[in-house]
Amino acid sequence: MPMAAITTAIMYPMLLIGAATDVRWGKIPNALTAPCALVGIVLNVVDSGIAGLGFGLAGIGIALALWFLSPIIGNVLGGGDVKLLAAVGALRGPVFILYAIAFSAFCGGLLAVCCAAGRRKLLASCKQLGQWLYWRSVWQVNAPLETAAVGLRLPYAVAIAAGAITASCVVR
């Protein structure tokens, strides 16, 4: 069985459980992400030796870079979200995680619009987001994005799961 199939078979349940716990409790447990990341590193080492170690660590590194970029993009990712992405990166590597991040961002935007519309706060959210973008771009004021969300909590692990699953259909 190809390594991508094995790592995907581990990744899918992890993503679905992570999304479910994020929706239900607003948390993604370390007991889920850490073992999956470790298994990803071990599988990649078994498959490719020291190059596999670099492959898995590069996937983790790209995901963790989002943690440092989070203040720039508006603090939309929590620690659990980043650890979930890091586990995906450990399992599937750096190219895959880039695709997963891109698809997750798209799915996250759709999820945000759906959540705001479902709570009848889409117009208020768009207005607040517009003000945030104005202050951020014109006046260089670093206003937190949370204020633009009008009190909506976004279980971003749902977007990560959708994005990573979509990426697994595109990247082999």
Tens digit of each residue's pLDDT (9 = 90 or more) over 14-71 = 999 999 999 999 999 999 999 999 999 999 999 999 999 999 999 999 999 988 887 7
- What's the pLDDT band for 148 if we cut at 50, 70, 90? very low
Residue 171 has pLDDT above 60, yes or no: yes
pLDDT at position 73: 66
Question: In degrees, to the nearest 5, what angle opens at C-alpha 148 toward C-alphas 147 and 150?
Answer: 75
pLDDT band at 147; cut points 50, 70, 90: very low
Tokens of 86: 């890091």
**What pLDDT score was predicted for residue 152?**
64
> How distant, in Å, are the alpha carbons of 56, 58, 154, 167 from that of 161?
19, 20, 13, 10
Question: How far is the C-alpha of 155 from the C-alpha of 169, rounded, in Å?
Answer: 23
Report the b/e string of 58-95 with b at 16+ CB within 10 A: bbbebbeebbeebeeebebbbebbbbbbbbbbbbbbbe
Mean pLDDT of the chain: 88
The Cβ-side half-sphere exposure at 151, using a 13 Å CA radius, reads 4
Q: Tokens 């799961």 identify what position?
A: 161
Q: Is the pLDDT of residue 131 over 90?
A: no
pLDDT at res. 16 = 98
CA-based end-to-end distance of the chain: 13
Question: DSSP of 104-168, one letter per residue?
Answer: HHHHHHHHHHHHHHHTT-HHHHHHHHHHHHHHHHTS-----GGGGGTT----HHHHHHHHHHHHH
The predicted-structure confidence for 95-121, as pLDDT tens digits, reads as follows 999 999 999 999 998 988 888 777 777
Q: What's residue 99's pLDDT?
A: 97
Q: For residues 5 and 45, is the Cβ–Cβ distance under 8 A?
A: no
φ, ψ (nearest 5 deg) of residue 28: -120, 110
Give the range of the structural domain holding residue 94, as residue numbers without chain letter: 3-170
Report the domain count for the chain.
1
Within 13 Å and on the Cβ side, how many CA atoms surround 130?
6
Residues in the chain: 172
